[in-house]
Amino acid sequence: MIYIARGYTGNKIQAVPTELSDFEAIRQSKIQVLSDVEKLHHYKRTTVHYFVAGEFKELVRNNMNLKHKTLITLDFDDMDISRDGFIEHLQQTIGGSRFYTFPSIRNGIEGLRYRVVIEPSRAFNIKENSTIMAYVNRIIGLEGYDESADTFSQLQSLKVTFGTKEAYEEDCYFNQGEPFDIDEAIQLQEAYEKENPQAVKRKQKPFQFQVSRKKTYTASLMEQLLEPIESGERNVKMTSLVGKLFSLGMNAEATYEWIHLINDNFVTPALREDEVNTIFRSILKAEQNKLEKGG
């Protein structure tokens, strides 16, 4: 199943029913044409369509909800190579596999940037994901690999351009190989890691210890921003967080963006946009009154 999201800031996703395989659904997906390159970052947040291929337990994007993935997706950014050289390199390294590659949104703006989608022989789970991604990246062996693609539930943008659909389509490439053998990849990568332990990327977070340093107010607040907010406490906690962000000296524009990011990603169920805006305006007005009174 293909799941899509509009903009990258939220964790809500929508299933897209189709009779096509997940690989073909991406390969045959429509090209989104944008008009103003100066609004690139705005488009990425609000307009560009992103996808995840697999099966989610609920329509909320996170690693725990994603049961398995059905496509291998990789990003290569700012490569010191030509488009034709990139395609030729893929043919030489993974040419036996069925893959599709297309320019990502900043291609040509910030160097050569491409997304590679590989059809696997079977779906794979989160435990297998890191081994598979390590193997594919090692085999391709190009600099510029974006490690954020290793995140199991990572969003990847669909086809989008600031040019014409015809020119964009010419830059895409489909390789008619066989499905990528997942079991063989896992076996080969595990053998490689056993023989080359020094080459294995650290998989455990490097903080299995306690820090005795006194925690600052800012550190405490940043931790609070990551805490889930459940139904029944949403309005109270969101009001508190807006006030605390203002107390740090954050300006209104940044506070507004932060509070919407928190609502989209950590509030279950998320508040309506007008509810968030009402909370924000209420605290903003209170802060303005304090300033006018010299407080």
Q: Where are the domains of the chain?
A: 2-199, 217-292
**Each residue's pLDDT tens digit, 108-117:** 887 899 999 9
pTM of the model: 0.69
> With 80 as the cut, is the pLDDT of residue 236 above it?
yes
pLDDT (0 to 100) of residue 73? 97
Backbone Cα Rg of the chain? 22
Residue of higher predicted confidence among 271 and 160: 160
pLDDT (0 to 100) of residue 220? 76
- Average pLDDT for residues 42-61, to the nearest whole number? 92
Residues of the chain with pLDDT > 90, as a percent, come to: 54
pLDDT (0 to 100) of residue 214? 58
- Average pLDDT for residues 53-76, to the nearest whole number? 94
- Average pLDDT for residues 227-255, to the nearest whole number? 85
pLDDT (0 to 100) of residue 151? 87
Q: Which of 32-36, 173-177, 192-196, 290-294 has the highest mean pLDDT?
A: 173-177
Beta-sheet pairing, 156-157 with 112-118: unpaired
pLDDT (0 to 100) of residue 209? 43
pLDDT (0 to 100) of residue 161? 95
pLDDT band at 294 (very low <50, low <70, confident <90, very high): low
- Average pLDDT for residues 276-293, to the nearest whole number? 87
Residue environment code for 243-271, b if the CB has 16+ CB neighbours within 10 A, otherwise e: ebbbeeeeeeeebbeebbebbbbbbeebb
Cis peptide before 179 (omega within 30 of 0): no
pLDDT (0 to 100) of residue 2? 97
pLDDT (0 to 100) of residue 115? 96
pLDDT (0 to 100) of residue 196? 86
Q: Amino acid identity of 90? A: L
- Report in angstroms the alpha-carbon separations of 53 from 1, 71, 78, 174: 6, 6, 25, 18
**Each residue's pLDDT tens digit, 4-32:** 999 887 788 999 999 999 999 999 999 99
pLDDT band at 207 (very low <50, low <70, confident <90, very high): very low
> With 70 as the cut, is the pLDDT of residue 202 above it?
no
pLDDT (0 to 100) of residue 147? 86
- Average pLDDT for residues 189-210, to the nearest whole number? 68
Q: What are phi and psi of 110, to 5 degrees?
A: -130, 60
Cα separation, 147 vs 73, whole angstroms: 11
pLDDT band at 215 (very low <50, low <70, confident <90, very high): low
pLDDT (0 to 100) of residue 182? 98
